[in-house]
Amino acid sequence: MQAQTRTIPQKVPTKFEFEKKVNLSEGRITCIAVTIDNKLLLCNNETKQISLMTETGQHLQSCTVAAGRVWRIALIPGTDDAVITLPDNRFIQFFNITRFTLGRQVPANVSPYGVAVVKDNVIVGSSNRKVVFIERVSGKCLKTLKVGRGQILSIFPVVDDKDELLYCCEHDGGTIVICLKFDGTRIFSHPVCLALDSKGNSYATAVRTNNLHRLSSDAQVDDILLKGSDGLDQPLAVAFNRNFEKLYISNGGKDISVLIFNCK
């Protein structure tokens, strides 16, 4: 179940066909991460658990995080490890996705929410508009960027030959998607959590309107692809599988569930 760099196809989904709803007995799924073999890692911040599911929604195992509420998880490419954020405890913690066991804790000096791993850096979004770069091995804080005005709930990196970009979801009453360079230079911000397709389009869940929006690479609203009538109920986490054939959305309203769609 090692996390590796994936080969990205060039197809952009044009519609999503409902496949299945996986009902959950309790909690709230704040993050969905997909392993190299298309298993799902789910963070439930109310039950304080990390769960593993198959790509079709079959539960495999769970691990309770005794230290506190877990918000997000990011895979470390080329390893069997991941990093989770624990905002109430102000630290990040390593997690082995093969043994499904917790590892060492690293102080973040902020209340960490969003997290991403790029090369040797763990990049953390905080509750007070900061993005912190932490050296993965030593745990040393390398730099801090001030971004926006609210909580940085999720971070998605895009690194290629041309750019090193961060897409940050900030919550401050409403939700803003902010794109910036690693040096803090802002590229754009747009009101609307998100996933990225192979062309750099953002797919953002709008909790209040129960919609899934697609934004183009320059942050313009391209389309509303899914709505409440498609089963969305206060949608939170959103993720594609490794080959962009499936889309996963967690519901945080009265209907606590994970929706699975086929990409067409």
Residues 3-31: tens digit of each pLDDT: 333 444 456 788 899 999 999 999 999 99
pLDDT reported for residue 158: 87
pLDDT reported for residue 54: 98
pLDDT grade for 2, boundaries at 50, 70 and 90: very low
Q: Return the minimum-mean-pLDDT range out of 150-159, 168-177, 187-196, 197-206.
A: 187-196
pLDDT (tens digit per residue) in 180-235 = 999 999 888 776 667 888 777 778 887 778 989 887 766 666 788 999 999 999 99
Q: Return the minimum-mean-pLDDT range out of 37-41, 117-121, 179-183, 248-252.
A: 179-183
pLDDT (tens digit per residue) in 35-46 = 999 999 999 999
* Whole-number Å distance between alpha carbons of 41 and 248: 11
pLDDT reported for residue 149: 85
Does the pTM surpass 0.85? The reply is: yes
Query: Which CATH number is associated with domain 25-263?
Result: 2.120.10.30
Query: What residue ranges do the domains of the chain occupy?
Result: 25-263
Q: Chain-wide mean pLDDT for the chain? A: 89
Question: What percentage of the chain reaches a pLDDT higher than 70?
Answer: 92
